[in-house]
């Protein structure tokens, strides 16, 4: 362990890497988020201000320049388009053609692409084309053309800023494209970073092994806590969602959620939110416990209230489960 600590102290300062809005929000790895953003910007009728530029550049990257003959006002971009046996991530429909896009960031490509093709051919009279949009080259694309995000970044770099009230959406798009650069490793390592990595690969592997061990511990702990909390009277749901242990319970008036981050600055804390994450003083003040004991708003999420914070990360699972049981009992009373 001392060897690892000494190694960590030698790590050089990395080249500054300003975070994108996706990283700030914690959505830099979520496939659905990328698809939602593409749905907005690929639609020339959306309010982003780029008109047909982004869609045309997308077609250029996919070697589909012959599809530029379309009526902009006819364009529709659908998300999670349902077929007989699946859902297409993105479906672009125009007066002349239909384009299906299966988006893959990190997930394995195991979709029934041939079924998608047959469904589109059977249900649309326009010319149909299919694309797998992915980070790395995919082998089994079942007749879909494979467009790499690295090629998409190159054509998106050509976009010209458009003056007007839509400028904010263009800033968002620049952030989105910068995130794509990071995903496709088009932000190169500095010489110092590269040299350090090559000279210290064995020590780096030890750190990676320790991190993997911690992740395994976290997974074990989450499963253990879910098992313990699931036995508490009144709990209707307990699972690990978005980095939090989420517990749903109810009384005769409302549904509530307790959220307990498993690791947050080496501490744990509990928050409460009502159904749809809309906790209000009016909702909570009707409960006996909150008539006498009020809780403070979470600084990062104003519709949640902190029940307890600064819980040590190394607290025993049974003790943490007992704390959660105590809060549920008080709130349901």
- Decide: 179 and 20 in contact? Cβ < 8 Å: yes
Q: Does the model's pTM come out above 0.85?
A: no
Round to whole Å and give the CA distance between 35 and 91. Answer: 11
> Where does the chain have alpha helices with state H?
2-8, 21-25, 31-41, 53-61, 113-123, 149-156, 167-183, 191-199, 201-229, 281-285, 288-292, 317-332
Chain segment 4-57, per-residue pLDDT in tens:
667 667 776 666 677 888 778 777 767 788 888 999 999 999 988 888 989 999
- Strands, sheet with 255-261, edge to edge from the N-terminal-most edge strand: 235-241, 244-250, 255-261, 267-274, 305-312, 296-297
Q: Nearest Cα to 225, choosing from 275, 186, 268?
A: 268
Structural domains in the chain, sorted by start: 2-13+189-211 (no CATH), 21-183 (no CATH), 214-332 (3.30.1460)
**Tens place of pLDDT for every residue, the chain, 333 residues?**
667 667 667 776 666 677 888 778 777 767 788 888 999 999 999 988 888 989 999 999 988 888 888 999 999 998 888 887 778 889 999 999 998 888 887 666 666 777 787 888 888 888 888 888 888 777 666 777 888 888 888 888 888 766 665 778 888 888 888 888 888 776 566 777 788 888 888 888 888 888 788 878 878 888 888 899 888 888 888 888 766 788 888 776 667 777 777 766 556 677 776 555 555 556 666 666 665 666 666 655 555 677 777 777 778 889 888 988 888 887 777
Chain segment 129-138, per-residue pLDDT in tens:
888 888 877 7
Q: 28: which strand partners? A: none
Dihedral pair phi/psi, residue 318, rounded to 5°: -65, -35
SS3 109: coil
């Amino acid at each position: 362990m001392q060897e690892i600590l000494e190694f960590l102290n030698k790590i050089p300062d990395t080249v500054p890497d300003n975070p994108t809005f996706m990283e700030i929000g914690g959505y830099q790895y979520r496939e659905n988020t990328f698809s939602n953003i593409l749905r907005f910007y690929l639609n020339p009728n959306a309010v982003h201000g780029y008109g047909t530029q982004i869609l045309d550049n997308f077609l250029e990257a996919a070697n589909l320049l012959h599809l530029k003959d379309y009526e902009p006002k006819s364009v529709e971009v659908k998300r999670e388009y349902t077929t007989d046996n699946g859902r297409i991530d993105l479906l672009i429909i125009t007066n002349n053609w239909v384009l299906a896009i299966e988006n893959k960031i990190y997930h394995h490509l195991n979709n029934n692409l041939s079924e998608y093709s047959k469904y589109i051919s059977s249900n649309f009279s326009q010319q149909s084309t299919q694309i797998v949009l992915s980070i790395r080259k995919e082998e089994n694309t079942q007749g879909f053309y494979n467009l790499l995000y690295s090629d998409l970044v190159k054509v998106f770099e050509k976009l010209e800023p458009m003056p007007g009230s839509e400028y904010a959406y263009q800033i968002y798009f620049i952030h989105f494209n910068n995130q794509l650069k990071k995903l496709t490793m088009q932000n190169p390592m500095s010489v110092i970073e590269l040299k350090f990595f090559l000279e210290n690969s064995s020590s780096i592997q030890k750190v990676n092994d320790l991190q993997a061990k911690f992740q395994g511990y976290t997974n074990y702990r989450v499963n253990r806590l879910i098992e313990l909390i699931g036995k508490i009277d009144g709990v209707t749901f307990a699972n690990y969602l978005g980095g939090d242990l989420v517990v749903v319970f109810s009384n005769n008036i409302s549904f509530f959620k307790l959220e307990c981050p498993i690791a947050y600055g080496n501490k744990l804390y509990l928050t409460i939110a009502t159904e749809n994450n809309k906790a209000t003083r009016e909702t909570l003040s009707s409960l006996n416990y909150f008539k006498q004991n009020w809780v403070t708003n979470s600084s990062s999420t104003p519709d949640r209230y902190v029940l307890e914070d600064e819980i040590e990360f190394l607290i025993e699972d049974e003790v943490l489960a007992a704390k959660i049981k105590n809060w549920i009992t008080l709130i349901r009373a």
